[in-house]
Each structure stands twice: as C-alpha cells, then as structure tokens.
A and B are shown apart, each in its own frame.
Chain A
Amino acid sequence: MQLFYLLKNEWMLSFMMVVLLILKVADNGRSHSSWIRIFNGLMLVLCVAGWLMPTVEGEAFGGMFFSYKAGAFAKNLLCTGTLFIGLIGEDWLKKTRHVVEFYLLIISTLMGMCFMISAGHMLMFYLSLELASIPLAAMCNFGFEERRSGEAAMKLILSSAFSSGLMLMGISFLYGATGTLSFAQLTLMSSYEPLFIIGFVLLFTGIVFKLSVVPFHLWTADVYEGSPAPVTAFLSVISKGAMVMVFAYILYHVFGALNDVWYTLLYVLSIATMVIGNLFAIRQQNLKRFLAFSSITQIGYILVGISGSSAEGFTAAMYFIVVYLFSNIVAFGVITHIASKTGNETIDSYKGLAKTNPFLAWSMAIALFSLAGVPPTAGFFGKIFLLKAGVGTGNFVLIIVAALNMIVALYYYLRVIRAMFMDSNENAIQPLESGLSLRIALFVCLAGIILTGFAGSIYEYILNLNVGL
C-alpha cells in the first residue's frame, strides 16, 4: 500500500495509458470525437484522486524513485493543468481525427514529467526527461496539413537531441568525478573539482535549454508558433512548470554545495533572459510567438527567485508556477478557441474583440494583466514574491533589472489589450460560440488568477510543503 501511494500519479497515468491503448487497438480507425469528453472525464477523476489521496514521503526501487511533498504537489498541479489543456483544446481536437493518439502522447509525456520530478538517480532523471520530451515533438506535428507544424517538430527534436547529447556528456563527467550517479551520493561527494564542475555545468545547460533560457532559447519561438495552440499551451505551461520544479530541486538539494557557482550562472542568465525575452516580445505580431517570448521573460523572473537560495526562493518559484499556469491557460484558451474557429493568430486580428466577444476579450485581458504583474491579479503577488526571494541575497542589481523589465513588459501586454478594447475594426472577429468545456476551464482559471493572490493560505500551504526539505 505504501508503494501504491508513493507512486500514485504514476500508477494512475499508466492505467490510463493502458485503457487508451486498448481503445486504440479496438477502434478500427474510426473518428471518435465524442471520446474527448470521456477522456477529459477520466483526467478529472485522475486529478481529483491525486489531490485527495494521501501523500507519502519516501523512496522506492532502491533510491531510484523518491517522493516528497512539494513534488507530489507539483505532480498534481501538472495533471490538473493537463486536464485544462484537454478542455480548452476540445474544439481543435475534434478536427484532428487522432484523439486517442493525442491523449496517449500527452499522458506519456506527463508520466515522464512525474518520474522526472521524483527521480533519485541521474539515469532515472535522464530517462524520464527523454520520456517527457520525445512525445512532445510528435504532438508539435499535430497540425498535419501545415508545413510549419512539421518544421516545429523537427526543430524541437533536433535541438533536444543536441542538448541531450551535451547533458549526457555532463552526466558521464559527473560519474567520472564521483563514481556514482545517485542524487544522495552526489550530494555528499560534490566538490570543486574541475571535472565535477564541468559535468554540472553541462547538466545545468541541458535543463536551462528545456526552460528556454537565453541563449538556449532560440528553438522556442519557432516551435511555439508552428505547433497547434493547445500543444503550445502544453509546452509553455506544463512542460515549463515541470522543468522549473526539477531545476529548483536539483540545484537546491543535489548541488546545494555548489551554491556560489550556480548563483553566478543564474545571475548572468536571468538578466540575459529577461532583457532579451522582452526585447523580442515587443515586436511580435503572432500571438503564439508573442507568448513564447513573454514566457521566456517569465522564466527569467523565476530564475531571479531561485537565485535567492532559500526555502523562500523555492516557494516563490512554485507559487509563481501556479499563477503562471492559470494565466497562461486562460490566454492560450482564448487563442486556441479563436485560432480553431477563424484561423487568426495575429494581434491585429484581435482588434475590436471586446465589442464582438466580450467574454473572450475580458478573459484575455485578465490573463495578460496577471502575466504583466498588475494587481489585484495573482501575477502581481507571484512577481513580488520572486523579487522578495531574490533580494534575500542582497543583490539589488538583479532586482532592479527585473523591475525595469516588468515595466517594458507592461508596455507590450497593454498593446494587446489596447488592440482588443480600444482599436476599432470593421472586420473584427465575429461573435464566437464557446463550448461548455472551454467555459469551465476559463472560469476555473480566472477564479484561480484572482483567488490565488488573495488567499494567503495558498502561499502558506506551499511554504509548508518545503519546510521539511
């Protein structure tokens, strides 16, 4: 029973995969758009069960798997986020005719993330990282009739392969330096030996590549733009969330002894990421590309928080992921909906949206305000906590750069809001009917954007998760 609870999300996800595979074999290639609701229902059951089941801390498989409270929280959060993505993507999925495959892929990558969060060994970590990224590339290719979708998949897989290669080299360096790959052993044996440091830096770059930190971000915009909107949402929300969690965990708890090395790396990278991400975001016309760069910037802020090297930093990063998840899902929900109904993805085409589709426009505006960190949305509090954690090291330069960037960011988020609310347009998008699933997802996430900020208990809950670590 202990083992059951330890791997609760993983069990459930595997079970769901088996169900999906059986269905796939039995379906004779028919189109099953009505199954989407069933799958979403299953995901809902999975999420509810995940949140309700007790969390057990401990390890399994000889230290390969390691469960801890914050990790369990993150897994549940990711599952919930995936559920929302299934909801907002419903209309789009109906058109693809590959419903079962899509869910198979999304659930296998989700399972990869769960194992990755709980990895207690470098090999386990590497395997689950690959499990989390390869199905993603297949998902990027889901816009079958579009050339750019295939291009996005190619770019993602090639870049990932490149970064994996370097990361594997780093892992082998670590092994060469210490003779072990278990996290617990690495923690004990970490040293300032050059081989060990180089190994660490290579591993580090492998992870920041997945986080799209500048200068490892170049794949991001192309992949985001080329992929279908729900996949982009998944990439930017779930995939990033899992990586932030793992990143913070590995830095704090495996390589905590190298604090002064990675602090400097984070310092340099976070400044580059915030500034470059913003400068690119300013000029974007395509909304998916725009959100790609804005998410790069957001990652930069998260790095500021993580660089705080304290329980507070970890908490702030996790809290921000919660907020970021809600905000981005709303933004992508609107984009997905409009893209799948009308094919429009540019900021200009959103002109006058508030007149024709007030609900969508308001949802989008609230999400963007949250991303920009404007009160009273939760994004404001998320950013404040990150800065507060960042200042814990007494590095005011970082804080000032971050705050300056927030102002620049405000400018371009307002640009979209202005297009929706203030610009008039004769060919504004016609009033669109939004389905029940989309409405539910948007309402829950909008409530999340507002409430997460004001309910202090959420922050406290996350803080308590980290106390034992």
Chain B
Amino acid sequence: MSSSVLILLLPFISFVVSGIWGRKYLKNFSGILGTVCMLVSFILAASVAYNYFFVTGRVGGQYLGTIPFEMNWLRFTNELSINIGILIDPISVMMLLVVTFISLMVHVYSLGYMKGEERYATYYSFLSLFTFSMLGLVVATNIFQTYVFWELVGVSSFLLIGFYFQKASAVAASKKAFIVTRFADLGFLAGILVLSYYSGSLDFKEIIARYTDPANPHLQAIATASFGGVSALSWALTLIFIGGAGKSAMFPLHIWLPDAMEGPTPVSALIHAATMVVAGVYLVARLFPVYAISCPAALHVVAIVGVISAAFAALIACTQTDIKRVLAYSTMSQIGFMMFALGVSKYGGEEGLGYMASMFHLFTHAVFKALLFLCAGTIIHHVHSNELKDMGGLRKSMPLTHITFLLACLAIAGIPPFAGFFSKEEILSAAFQHDPVIYWAAIATAALTSFYMFRLFFMTFYYDGEKKAEAHGHDDHSAGHSSIAMTGVQVVLAIGAVVAGFVPFGQFVSSDGFALPTHIDISFSVLPVSLSIGGILLAMFFFYKKSDKAIRISEGLGSVFVTLKHKFYIDEIYAFVTKKIIFNLIAAPAAWIDKNIVDGMMNTFAKATEVFSFSLSGWQSGKVQSYAAWFLAGVLSLVLISLYLLQLL
C-alpha cells in the first residue's frame, strides 16, 4: 500500500518546493501547490480509510493494526533497533482523515485569508511542513518515531506562531510555546527512556504486547522496579502523559496556548484546534492498553488532570474578551473532556466506552472547532480587531458567518442533532458509569460551555447598541472581502458540524477493535441537554442586547412582572449567582491564578536561572592564578571522592 506513504510525502514535497523556490519563483503558485498536494493527500487518506474500514481491516470482527510500510532505520544494539514506518489501525486512520481534511480546509481558506501577504510562500511551506510532521506523528509505528515527529511538530508550530515576527508579542508567544512544550517533552523523553529500558523494544506493538501480559518478564521487571515508592511503569506512563499534557495544553502546562493565538488565525484553526493539541490525547490513546490493563493509577492521573483542565478552562473562558482567547480556552476545556474520557475508560467491550467517546469527540471537535476558528478569522478580517468590544451586531454585515458560527456553537454546546451532542453524550455516559464526581463536574462544565460559547456568539453578532451597527454600516461592502475560498470552507465545515455526529463511530473505533454500538439514551440526555439550553438562554439573557437586562424586561412587561420579579427576586438571584459568584468569586480568581501563578512559575524559573548565573560571574575572574587554584581544589576533591569510594568498596 504505497499510497499511504504518498499521503506523507506530498505535504513534504510541497514544503520543500515552496520553501526553496517559493519566495523567488513561485510567489503565488505556492498556495495552489500546497492546496493541490493536500487535496490529493486527503483523497488518498480517504481511500486508505475506505479500504481499511470496509475492505481489508476487519479480521474476524476485529480491527487489527497493519504496517504497510516499514524500514529499519537505526540499529542501537543487536536487540534494540528503531524503525520508521506507517501504522494503519483505527485511530491512526481516523487521525489521517482528520488531519488531511482540516489541513486541506485551512489551505483553501488561507488562499483568501493570506492573500497579499508578503511572505505568502513561506507561510505555505510552513503549513505543509506542519502537516507533514503531524501525519508522521499519527502513523508512527514506534514511540521513537512519535517522538521525532512530535518535536518536529513543535518546531513547525513555533515557526507558524511566530509568523508575524515583526510583532514582539508574536515572537514572545512562539518562544513561550516552544519552550513550555519542550519542558513537557522532557517528561516524554524520560518516559520513553524508562519504558524502553525495561521493554527492550520501542515498537508500539511490542510494548503493548509485553506490558499487557501479566506473565511477561518485561512487565514484571518494570512493575517491580520502583523509584520513590512508585513503580517504574507508573513513572514512565505518567512522564509520557506529562509530555502529552504539554502539547495538549492540560493544566498546568496550558500557559502557552492562549498566547499562541498570536499566530495567523487559520494556523490556530489547524494547530490549536484540530491537530497538534490533540496529539497528547492521541498519545495516551496509542498506549491505552498499557495504561488500562497494567497501570490504572496512571490512567487515574489522566482523568483527574483532564477534568480539572476542562472545568478550569471553561471558567476562564467566561471572562475573556478576546475572541481567539475564548476559543483557546474552550479548546483546552474540550481536550480536557477527551482526556478524562480516556481516564475513566477501561479496556475492552462496553467498559471501553470512554475510549471510543474520547476518540469520537476528538473527531467531531476537530470539525466544529476548526469552523469556529475560521469564522473568527473571517470576523477579525472584517473588523480588524480581536476584541469583543469592537464587534457586536455583525449578523447583518456577515450573514453567512453568522449562520455557520451559530451551527458550530450549537455543536460545541451539545445540542441535538449537532455533532458535539453525540460525542459529548458518550463521554458523559462513560463518566457516569465509572466515576460520579467526574460526571457531575463534566455536566457542570458542559453547561458552562454552552454559556460562554453563546456569550461569545451574542456578543459578536448581536449585543449592538445602535451606534455599533452604524459604525459598521459603511463596512458592508467590505464583507465581500471574505473571498469564496473562505466562505466555501465555512460552509463545508458547517455541514460537517451538522452531520459528523451521525457517523456510527463505535463501529470503527473502540479500545479492543471490536465494534461497539453507539446508543443515545433519551432519558440520560435530558439533563445535559436541558442544562446546555439553560446556558444558552442565560447567555442570551445577558448578552443579546447591550443594556441592563433586568431593567429592560421589567419595563417591557409592566407592573405585574415587576411585582413578580421583586417577589421572587429571580433575576437578582440569577444575576447574583452568575455575575457575583461565577464571575467574581470563581472565574476571575481562576483567571488570576492562571495569569500570575501558573504562568509566573515559568518566569520565576527563568529569573532564578538568570540570577544564579549572574552571581557566578565572579568565578570567571580572568586571573590564571585563581584558575590554577580552582584546578587544584578540583583535583583534590576528586581524589577525596575516589578514596572515599575506595573505602566503601
């Protein structure tokens, strides 16, 4: 199956061609080239998916992984060698589809969005490089290959976030993203080293086979070896999860994500919504059998971190005033959903519902979150600002974006029959089966989700004082600026956001490869859906029109309602609960902690290094005599150390 190799190769070719010749010769052609390469890539991915899911993949009712291409790359020792290859199994095929599709959409959208940009060719070459790295990560046959591409993804996202390098904030953001995720990658690397030290293999297949069989000597070795009272296996898996948490912006390693919004908006759609940030989820899913069978403790960590991130980010999202930052925190929150869904899952059969739900949500989320970002891009293009206060009343001048954005919001809020509803239901029912605390936290977060998403929606498209609408009146013709490429992509993705949920996902992807029927239980859905609708109404109540809501209603409905209202103080209670408690008491402090403490930790580390470095400077005096003295001191201490060792021996 050489076509699977071609899926990776095409973006790479596009990267090389527009990277080398783009700036001089192919200035405007590089966009088309990249897009065509992605289109072919996507078609190939779709055919691979079709072949795998409907023709060759299922053996005896179970989907097994196959490796159509593999070559021996590095031989470490006689037993341990590193291969590079392509692994085709349900989740990698699913990811191939998602990555190529979203990337194609972003390529097309950028044709319009980046038009006239001076470094147009560079932009497309970076975009292709990113897609190539992401695809390489997805199809990795061994954990080392994953790591290599993982780092490569980091590099290319660094390049893309810092694309507007004239802006100081973009430079700072790209550097921050790079260094914070490298920090997490350190955990990943240490985890890989520990894991492979005991397993003697780096292949996923071998690692999973060796670490899931209780009788296997490799598993016994790693499970009995302990460090600080915790088994080496738990360490390894937790460290690997830290790597994943860094890329997936889980608390407290998420600090780079909101800043990363400095990049061009289509880039945010690709990297910070659909592909790179789910790499962590994918990584845990990839090693899921090891987590679930041999080390539930590590999986528990995943669940807790996931649910904290989901709730924390949702709270912060309510307070943000920058459209992309709201979306960034919402992404973090949704990835938290995927993480804890994995965390509450077990391996095999019905028990593995969480795994399926997590992958399902990854799939649907990619579509509607990319749509949200691209709509945001169109809006920013239109009003030339990220700030919500500069928007409002845009529904008239941007009718199409209004509709598509609404569909995406309905999807993320989990309103049936939009895509997010199906996947979120599966996640909630998985959580319900295994952990009531997580379930209730998830329900609350889901309600909050619909609140902040519709706050965003209403503040952008409604919430107009008359003044606002006028201010944008003369801009009406400029709505035509959003080219066909941009609007076309929005329509395609909006269709996706509506229908993606109807895919019988459990048929294809499940923890053990056997089909898992998806079922929607109406009675179970009532609570989350009604809470979501409640969230929407609340948002509408506050942000539909720019005025003091409570007064307006009381005037409009006359004295009866005033009495009623004052009798029961419903509005006041509502306002009190949302404004005072949720905003001031929980969300605002959470945002403050995020900004000053979590973010500050990194700064403190950097400061401390700087200060320490400065205090050492006296050592380097420039005097040879003092160098000799230090030399002698060094020699003597080494002699002492070795003589001391000698005594021990």
- Residues 616-649 of chain B, each 1 if its beta carbon lies under 8 Å from chain A, else 0: 1101101010111011011100110111011001
Q: Does B54 contact A (CB under 8 A)?
A: no
Asked whether A380 lies within 8 Å of B641 as measured between CB atoms, the reply is: no
Which residues 146-190 of B have a CB within 8 angstroms of A?
148, 151-152, 155, 162, 165-166, 171, 175, 178-179, 182-183, 186, 189-190
Contacts A201-B638, A410-B179, A460-B75 given; indicate if A192 touches B646 (C-beta within 8 A). yes
Given the known A-B contacts A221-B620, A283-B617, are A410 and B193 also in contact in the complex, defined by CB atoms under 8 Å?
no
Of B165, B189, B190, B630, the contact of A215 (CB 8 Å cutoff):
B630
Residues of A within 8 A of B82 (CB): 456
User: Are A265 and B641 touching (Cβ within 8 A)?
Assistant: yes
Q: How far is the CB of A100 from chain B (nearest CB, A)?
A: 31
Q: Is B77 an interface residue (CB 8 A)?
A: yes
A261 to B642, CA, bound (A): 6
Q: Are A456 and B75 in contact (CB under 8 A)?
A: yes
Point out the residue from A192, A200, A399, A463 that lies within 8 Å of B649, measured CB to CB: A192
Name B186's contact: one of A269, A391, A403 (CB within 8 Å): A403
Contact across chains for A399 and B75 when beta carbons are under 8 A apart: no
Chain B residues with CB under 8 A of A215: 630-631, 633-634
CA distance A221 to B148 in the complex (A): 34
**Chain A positions 397 through 408: 1 when the CB is less than 8 Å from some CB of chain B, otherwise 0:** 001100110111
CB <8 Å contact, A282 and B609: yes
Residues 175-194 of A contacting B (Cβ, < 8 Å): 192, 194
Q: Given the complex, which residues of B lie within 8 Å of A216, measured CB to CB?
A: 630-631, 634
Residues of A within 8 A of B73 (CB): 456
Contact of B638 among A204, A400, A414 (CB under 8 A): A204
A residues less than 8 Å from B197 (CB atoms): 391-392, 394
Provide the residues of chain B in CB contact with A410, threshold 8 Å. 178-179, 182
Task: Give the most central of B178, B182, B617, B634: most A CB within 10 Å.
Answer: B634
| B179 neighbours in A (Cβ, 8 Å) | 407, 410-411, 414
A48 within 8 A of B: no
| B2 located at the interface, meaning its Cβ lies under 8 Å from any Cβ of chain A in the complex | no
Determine whether the beta carbon of A280 is less than 8 Å from that of B616: yes
Structural contact, B634 and A205, CB atoms closer than 8 A: yes
Is B610 part of the binding interface, using a Cβ–Cβ cutoff of 8 Å? Answer: yes
| B186 with A222: CB separation less than 8 A | no
In the bound complex, how far is the Cα of B643 from the Cα of A268, in angstroms? 15
B274 CB to closest chain A CB (Å) equals: 23
Chain B residues within 8 Å of A376, by CB: 148, 152
Total residue contacts A-B, CB cutoff 8 A: 153
**A459 close to B (CB within 8 Å):** yes
Residues of B within 8 A of A282 (CB): 609-610, 613
B568 interface contact, C-beta 8 A: no
B194: Cβ under 8 A from any A Cβ = yes
Q: Of B75, B227, B642, which contacts A265 at CB under 8 A? A: B642
| Residues of A218-236 contacting chain B, CB below 8 A | 218-219, 221-222
> In residues 254-270 of chain A, which contact B (Cβ within 8 Å)?
260-261, 264-265, 268-269
Does A210 sit at the interface, judged by CB under 8 A?
no
Contact B152 A375 (CB under 8 A): yes
Contact assessment for B613 and A218 in the assembled complex, using a CB-CB cutoff below 8 Å: no
Shortest CB-to-CB span from B375 to chain A, Å, is 30
Expressed in whole angstroms, the Cα–Cα distance for A261 and B189 within the complex equals: 28
CB-CB < 8 A to A394: which residues of B?
197
* Cβ distance B151 to chain A, nearest Cβ, rounded Å: 4
B559 lies within 8 A of chain A by Cβ: no
Instruction: With a 10 A CB-CB cut-off, give which of B606, B609, B631, B649 has the most chain A CB atoms.
Output: B631
Please state if B175 and A414 are interface contacts (CB–CB under 8 Å): yes
Tell me the complex Cα distance, A221–B620, Å: 8
Cα A216 to Cα B631 with chains together (Å): 5
Looking at the assembled complex, report how far the CB atom of B494 sits from the nearest CB atom of chain A, in whole angstroms.
37
Shortest distance between the CB of A148 and any CB in chain B (Å): 10
Complex CA distance for A459 and B77, rounded to whole angstroms:
11
Given contacts A222-B622, A376-B152, A456-B73, contact A403 B189 (CB under 8 A): yes
A339 to B440, CA, bound (A): 65
B148 touches A375 (CB 8 A): yes
- How far, in angstroms, from A144 to B617 measured CA to CA in the complex? 29
Known contacts A198-B639, A218-B619, A463-B75; A280 and B613 CB within 8 A of each other: yes
A352 to B268, CA, bound (A): 28
The residue in chain A whose Cβ has the minimal distance to the Cβ of B23 is: A358
Q: Taking CB as reference atom, which chain A residue is nearest B621?
A: A218
Interface members, chain A 272-306 (any B CB < 8 Å): 276, 279-280, 282-283
Asked if A201 and B182 make an inter-chain contact with CB atoms under 8 angstroms apart, the answer reads no
How far, in angstroms, from A387 to B197 measured CA to CA in the complex?
Answer: 12
Task: Report the minimum CB–CB distance from A98 to chain B (whole Å).
Answer: 26
Q: List 26 A-B contacts (CB under 8 A).
A: A154-B624, A155-B627, A159-B627, A159-B628, A163-B631, A166-B631, A192-B646, A198-B639, A201-B639, A205-B638, A218-B630, A219-B627, A221-B620, A268-B638, A279-B616, A280-B613, A283-B610, A375-B152, A392-B197, A394-B197, A396-B227, A400-B190, A406-B182, A407-B186, A459-B75, A460-B74
Interface of A with B (CB < 8 Å)? 154-155, 158-159, 162-163, 166, 192, 194, 197-198, 200-202, 204-205, 209, 215-216, 218-219, 221-222, 260-261, 264-265, 268-269, 276, 279-280, 282-283, 311-312, 374-376, 380, 384-385, 387-388, 391-392, 394, 396, 399-400, 403-404, 406-408, 410-411, 414, 418, 421-422, 424, 456, 459-460, 463
11 additional contacts, CB 8 Å, given A198-B643, A218-B620, A387-B189? A154-B624, A197-B643, A218-B626, A264-B641, A279-B613, A280-B617, A391-B197, A406-B186, A410-B179, A418-B175, A456-B82
Top-9 shortest CB links A-B: A218-B627, A279-B613, A215-B634, A456-B74, A375-B151, A403-B186, A456-B73, A391-B193, A422-B165
